[in-house]
């Protein structure tokens, strides 16, 4: 089965930024740095806004702030911070009497749960009896899939990770752990099938 590259080369994960910008919302009693509202360049925030099925063109900082306020009608204000805690732009609605203007810590800005795009590596793909499939774990190297089979967390050292034997061993472990799947495969993130195994072929 053909799996599209667009399904394989991105996934949600915890990330740590070393550059870029975050959106911060202000309320009466607290502020919030929402997950996923990140841009490497300020104008890249426009990917969150579309007109006629196209990304809206960047105008200026004030336009971005207004648009993010429209997305969150409960917020009393909004700001753009870089990940070094510097406020680049800020806007508070006229009716706001008081907002929580406490320090936005660097830890709030650099840590996120967001979509990561990759151009190398592999994905597990699980196939079900009804013809549907599910994209599974990402690994930069095939042997890194063994992290899925650790018996205890957190992983203290490499001794906690089962030794990689073969792709066949990975498939057997997947089929034993997931009783409702019919087949399991490994694809690279460009969409090329590396190997596949059906449940009735387990030896």
Q: Residues 6 or more apart from 191 whose CB is under 8 A from it?
A: 2, 3, 4, 5, 8
In this prediction, residue 111 carries a pLDDT of: 96
List the structure tokens of 85: 């805690």
* Predicted local distance difference test score (pLDDT) of residue 85: 97
d(CA 87, CA 21): 10
pLDDT digits (tens, 9 = 90+) for 102-160: 999 999 999 999 999 999 999 999 999 999 999 999 999 999 999 888 876 665 567 77
Question: pLDDT band at residue 51, thresholds of 50, 70 and 90?
Answer: confident
Reference 2, options 174, 185, 139; nearest CA is 185
Length of the chain: 203
- Predicted TM-score (pTM) of the model is 0.74
Structure confidence at residue 56 (pLDDT): 93
What are the two backbone dihedrals, phi and then psi, of residue 31, each rounded to the nearest 5 degrees? -120, 165
Q: How far apart are CA 119 and CA 122, in angstroms?
A: 10
Average pLDDT over residues 33-59: 94
- Tell how strand 77-82 and strand 87-92 pair up: antiparallel
121: region left, alpha or beta (phi > 0 left; psi from -120 to 50 alpha): left
Element (H, E) at 106: helix 106-110
Share of the chain above pLDDT 90, in %: 84
The per-residue pLDDT of the chain, averaged, comes to: 92
Domain boundaries, the chain: 12-116, 119-201
């Amino acid at each position: 089965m053909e799996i599209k590259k667009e399904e394989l080369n991105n996934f949600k994960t915890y990330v740590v930024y070393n550059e870029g910008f975050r959106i911060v919302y202000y309320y009466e009693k607290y502020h919030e740095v929402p997950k996923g509202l990140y841009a490497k360049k300020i104008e890249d925030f426009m990917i969150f806004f579309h007109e006629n099925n196209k990304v809206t063109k960047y105008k200026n900082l004030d336009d971005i702030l207004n648009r993010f306020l429209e997305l969150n009608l409960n917020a009393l204000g909004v700001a753009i911070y870089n990940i070094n805690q510097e406020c680049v732009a800020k806007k508070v609605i006229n009716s706001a009497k008081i907002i929580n203007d406490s320090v936005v810590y660097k830890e709030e800005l650099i840590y996120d749960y967001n979509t990561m795009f990759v151009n190398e590596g592999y994905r597990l793909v699980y196939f079900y009896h009804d013809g549907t499939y599910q994209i599974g774990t990402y690994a930069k190297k095939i042997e890194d899939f063994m992290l899925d089979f650790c018996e205890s967390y957190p992983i203290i050292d490499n001794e906690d990770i089962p030794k990689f034997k073969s792709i066949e061993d990975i498939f057997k472990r997947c089929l034993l752990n997931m009783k409702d799947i019919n087949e399991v495969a490994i694809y690279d993130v460009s969409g090329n099938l590396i190997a596949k195994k059906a449940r009735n072929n387990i030896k």
